[in-house]
Chain A
Amino acid sequence: MNKRKIIKIFLTIVLVLISVIALLPVILMLFDSFKTGSEIAKNSWNIPKKWTFSNYKALMDYNSGIMVRTFINSLGISTIYTAITLIVASLAAFAFSKYRFKGNKVIFMLLLITMMVPGEITLPAIYLMFSKAHMLNTYSVQIFPGIANVFCLFMLKQYMDSLPNSLIEAARIDGAGEFYTYRKIIVPLCKPTIGALAILTFLGKWNDYLWPSMLLTKKEVMPIMVILPTLNTSNSTYSIPWELILTGCTIVTVPLIIVFLIFQEQFMASVTLGAVKE
């Protein structure tokens, strides 16, 4: 065997090992969701001896269906939040990119500077403001804070800057209205960037725990991520029903993995937004 081949085999083994480490916790989560609590305590790593769907059933019935309710909450909140964020940001990006108007550059620069300030700083103020408006424990408090996303605005403007102005002039000559130009010409051309930003925004909201755990006390409006760590039952083998928690983890993870497998390229492209100039 020549040196090249040995190196290749060695590197392949290293990458396989890393891949196994990357997959193991996910596989454990998946397998254990089909085991009973006592089997997990004895045997976390193996394939389930007897596949049981009882955890999934127990989770559906848990606390009169709160898991189903909160899963739908999460889905709805993340979708609406992502849609509004991108509509608002793309409208503004269109103006900043394709129009000359008084204050154009100054306003944009001011917005960019605020990107340095983490949103978490506003948490005490948001809590007080929404509490005084009696709007804690609503969907609004989960959707509106953070809705003006400067990162999305910046990325979309950058992309629109690369689109030739002649496109818009041509549309104007054809008598297209300004909103029509935005809707029918600019937005379709921005699809790759909008898609990548949608993935990032949706995942960010879907994952969020800090904000909803601070702003909500009513279970019916909570996202599933806040309910997940609180699961407990009196008839479980242990004080904490690991089997239920791992089943819940599987439920919030598997849909994402399926979407990820379909849109791999888009997911990984969303990570590099802003990192590399195309």
Chain B
Amino acid sequence: MQSKGNASQKNSKNSNVKKKLIPYLFILPFIISFVLFFAIPAIYSLRLSFLNYKGYGQAKFVGLGNYSSLLEYSAFWKAVKNTFFYFLTHLVPVMLGAFLIALVMQGKAMMRMQKVFKPVIFLPQIVPVMATALTFRIIFAKNTGAINQILGTNAAWLENPATMRWCVVLMVVWRSIGWFMVIFLAGLTTISKDINEAAIIDGANNVQIVTKITVPLMKPIFLFAFVMDAIGSFKIYTEPNIMIAGTSTLTTDAAPIMNIITTNIRGGNFGMASAAGWLLFLLILIISVMEMLLLRDKGTDKG
């Protein structure tokens, strides 16, 4: 360029402003949709949780009233208990099962078979939750259900309060093992083979290698898996509702916390529904933080 006059200087100033605007233009669609469809609804639901509001007419400020009536409401505590039941009972079989399967598949003996078994065991995860819940509803159906056909019984698995929640847990375990197996397999492949070989030379046996080397090295993966699982489990909804109740109302003997939210929305108690939502968030937060504290890397504790 030969003529670097005033005009081009102005131009470059203009293009400077333009340049500064560009990143904002790129984030604008995200920020707008975030504000409109997450931030505003979240703040609104926080406000709702302090109101008595039917969706029309005057909203009445009730302070912590919604929260305190939830905490005094026996159905809420039943729902908390059920949610913890689903969470605690599935945790050990899913995590231990998935980890053991991953260990076996990563072992020298099974390496080559991985290609066949891995997708098959992962497959339940691909079946939509709705299809799984309905199929299991039929499998556990009373009188002529598939399980009763095998056992030659006519038990009412899904109607009996003693067994219905266990049926849901069975389904959850069936569905989630493959998911965590894949996560653990990915974690196992990051552990260097040299470490294991060094341990074998030092005379460590297989059990020692797993408990002293593999498990400690996998801690970050376990943490990820446990927190992801907790976040999902406490929001459990479709599984118990469809499997036990179909389209009718789920009994409080099996209803999770999400049901407190949905029944209150259906009943027009938007304040109560919002308060239950925030209590659920608090619960998830507490459990996740507890898991992080339990599983965090304690550095050089055990060398």
Query: Which residues does chain B contribute within 8 Å of A118, judged by CB atoms?
Result: 231, 235, 280-281, 284
Partner of B280 from A19, A91, A120 at Cβ < 8 Å = A120
Q: Which of A64-72, A141-149, A161-169, A190-198 contacts B (4 or more CB under 8 A)?
A: A141-149
Minimum CB–CB distance from A228 to chain B (whole Å) comes to 6
Q: Are B110 and A11 in contact (CB under 8 A)?
A: yes
Q: Are A253 and B131 in contact (CB under 8 A)?
A: yes
Question: Complex formed: what's the CA distance from A178 to B135 in Å?
Answer: 51
Question: Complex formed: what's the CA distance from A129 to B113 in Å?
Answer: 53
Q: Are B22 and A99 in contact (CB under 8 A)?
A: yes
Query: Is A180 an interface residue when CB atoms closer than 8 A count as contact?
Result: no
Chain A residues 117 to 176 lying within 8 A of chain B, measured CB to CB, are 117-129, 131, 144-148, 150, 153
Q: Which of B81-89, B155-163, B270-278, B294-302 contacts A (4 or more CB under 8 A)?
A: B270-278
Query: Is A207 an interface residue when CB atoms closer than 8 A count as contact?
Result: yes
Minimum CB–CB distance from B153 to chain A (whole Å) comes to 14
Task: Mark B93-117 against chain A: 1 for CB-CB distance below 8 A, else 0.
Answer: 0000000010011010110010001
Secondary structure call for the A interface: helix
Query: Is B166 an interface residue when CB atoms closer than 8 A count as contact?
Result: no
Q: Which of B6-14, B37-45, B70-78, B195-203 contacts A (4 or more CB under 8 A)?
A: B37-45
Question: Complex formed: what's the CA distance from A276 to B121 in Å?
Answer: 20
Question: Nearest chain-A residue to B49 (Cβ)?
Answer: A124
Question: Complex formed: what's the CA distance from A42 to B157 in Å?
Answer: 18
Q: Tell whether A26 pairs with B124 under 8 Å between CB atoms, given A124-B274, A209-B130.
A: yes
Interface size on A, residues (CB 8 A): 93
Partner of A229 from B36, B150, B246 at Cβ < 8 Å = B246
Q: Are A124 and B128 in contact (CB under 8 A)?
A: no
Query: Which residues does chain B contribute within 8 Å of A4, judged by CB atoms?
Result: 109
Q: Are B45 and A29 in contact (CB under 8 A)?
A: no
Query: Is A242 an interface residue when CB atoms closer than 8 A count as contact?
Result: yes
Question: Complex formed: what's the CA distance from A11 to B109 in Å?
Answer: 8
Q: Are B27 and A92 in contact (CB under 8 A)?
A: yes
Q: List 22 A-B contacts (CB under 8 A).
A: A7-B109, A12-B113, A26-B127, A44-B139, A88-B33, A89-B30, A99-B23, A99-B26, A104-B23, A127-B270, A131-B55, A148-B34, A148-B38, A150-B34, A206-B128, A207-B129, A210-B238, A229-B242, A249-B131, A250-B131, A268-B182, A271-B186
Task: Mark A201-214 against chain B: 1 for CB-CB distance below 8 A, else 0.
Answer: 00100110110001
Query: Which residues does chain A contribute within 8 Å of B190, judged by CB atoms?
Result: 276-277
Q: Are B270 and A256 in contact (CB under 8 A)?
A: no
**Which of under 10, 10 to 19, 20 to 34, or 35 or more describes the interface residues of B?**
35 or more
Partner of A101 from B23, B36, B136, B264 at Cβ < 8 Å = B23
Query: Which residues does chain A contribute within 8 Å of B217, judged by CB atoms?
Result: none
Task: Name 13 extra pairs, CB < 8 A, besides A95-B26, A150-B34.
Answer: A11-B107, A18-B117, A40-B144, A41-B144, A42-B144, A92-B30, A118-B284, A121-B277, A124-B274, A128-B55, A229-B246, A229-B247, A276-B187
Q: Are A123 and B277 in contact (CB under 8 A)?
A: yes
Minimum CB–CB distance from A237 to chain B (whole Å) comes to 10
Query: Which residues does chain A contribute within 8 Å of B22, judged by CB atoms?
Result: 95, 99, 178
Question: Complex formed: what's the CA distance from A272 to B98 in Å?
Answer: 14
Partner of B33 from A14, A123, A147, A252 at Cβ < 8 Å = A147
Task: Mark B51-64 against chain A: 1 for CB-CB distance below 8 A, else 0.
Answer: 00001000000000
Task: Mark B225-238 against chain A: 1 for CB-CB distance below 8 A, else 0.
Answer: 10000010001011
Q: Are B225 and A275 in contact (CB under 8 A)?
A: yes
Query: Which residues does chain B contribute within 8 Å of A117, judged by CB atoms?
Result: 42, 281
Query: Is B151 an interface residue when CB atoms closer than 8 A count as contact?
Result: no
Partner of B247 from A91, A94, A120, A230 at Cβ < 8 Å = A230
Query: Is A8 an interface residue when CB atoms closer than 8 A count as contact?
Result: yes
Q: Are B37 and A147 in contact (CB under 8 A)?
A: yes
Task: Mark A84-123 against chain B: 1 for CB-CB distance below 8 A, else 0.
Answer: 0001110110111001010010010001001011111111
Minimum CB–CB distance from B215 to chain A (whole Å) comes to 16
Question: Complex formed: what's the CA distance from A178 to B237 in Å?
Answer: 44
Q: Are B55 and A120 in contact (CB under 8 A)?
A: no
Query: Which residues does chain B contribute within 8 Å of A45, judged by CB atoms?
Result: 146, 149-150
Query: Which residues does chain B contribute within 8 Å of A123, judged by CB atoms?
Result: 45, 261, 265, 273, 277
Task: Mark B243-269 against chain A: 1 for CB-CB distance below 8 A, else 0.
Answer: 000110000000000100110111000
Q: Tell whether A120 pairs with B235 under 8 Å between CB atoms, given A11-B109, A44-B139, A95-B26.
A: yes
Q: Tell whether A246 pairs with B135 under 8 Å between CB atoms, given A21-B174, A125-B48.
A: yes
Question: Complex formed: what's the CA distance from A127 to B41 in Å?
Answer: 9
Minimum CB–CB distance from B224 to chain A (whole Å) comes to 5
